[in-house]
Structure formats: structure tokens, C-alpha cells
Amino acid sequence: MLTVIVKFTVLPGRMDEFLEGLHANAQSSLRDETGCLRFDIHRSRDNEDEVLLYEIYRDQGAFEVGHRGSAHYAAWREVVARCVPDGGHVNTFGTPAFPEDLPEAHDGRA
């Protein structure tokens, strides 16, 4: 499995548009990608311009091909281009230390 923790800084006045596009991307990813196991969206508690994501994919290919190759991802990138300044998108990649502990390991998709 591959985990992606994402931090976005959103331009002033763009948060509603950003969250609407992000929600559509998350819902399409979970519904249409067999390899997207988790896609959670959070507002930062201490920075009103910051949005945090927690995504889990079955493997690297599910992220690089299944997710980034999808039509909904292309639409999402257009939202990011309008709403996120240069340097406002930081990805941190991880792998589960105890994958058998994750509910997603037992839901038939992983």
C-alpha cells in the first residue's frame, strides 16, 4: 500500500471552489478507482487557508496510473491551478508500518 498525506495552502477567496472540486475528486476516486482505498479531507484547525488530505492506494501503480491517469484527476488539476499558489502543495509519501491493522486491508479492495 501507498499512503499520501497532502498539505494544500489555498488562495484567499478560493476555498469554496477548492473544496467543491476536491470533494468531487475524492468521491470519484473512491467510487471509480479500485485501487483508491481511502481519501479523507480535513480543514486545518490552526490555519484557515490550509487543507489536509489522507489518501491510501493499493500500490504505487494505483496512485500513478489509476489515480493520476483518471479524467476526474485532470479536472481536479484545473481547480488546483486556479486555487493554489506556487509552492502551496506538499505531498508526503508513506507505507503502512502494520498494514494488517488497517481496516482497508480487510475490505476486499486491498
Residues in contact with a copy of itself by the rule CB under 8 A: 2-3, 5, 7, 19, 22-23, 26-27, 40-46, 51-52, 54, 92-98, 101-103
User: Helix, strand, or coil here: 105?
Assistant: helix
- CB 72 to a copy of itself: min, Å: 16
In the bound state with a copy of itself, the residue whose beta carbon lies nearer, of 19 and 80, is 19
- CB 102 to a copy of itself: min, Å: 6
In the bound state with a copy of itself, the residue whose beta carbon lies nearer, of 16 and 78, is 16
In the bound state with a copy of itself, the residue whose beta carbon lies nearer, of 5 and 74, is 5
| Number of residues written out for the chain | 110
What is the gyration radius of the CA atoms in the chain, in angstroms? 14
Q: Which amino acid is at 98?
A: F
- CB 90 to a copy of itself: min, Å: 11
Question: Which single residue is written with the C-alpha cell 480535513?
Answer: 42
Q: How far apart are alpha carbons 100 and 80 in whole angstroms?
A: 34
Compute the Cα dihedral for 83, 87, 88, 92 and give only its sign: positive
Answer whether 80's CB lies under 8 Å from 89's CB. Answer: yes
- CB 46 to a copy of itself: min, Å: 6
In the bound state with a copy of itself, the residue whose beta carbon lies nearer, of 54 and 64, is 54
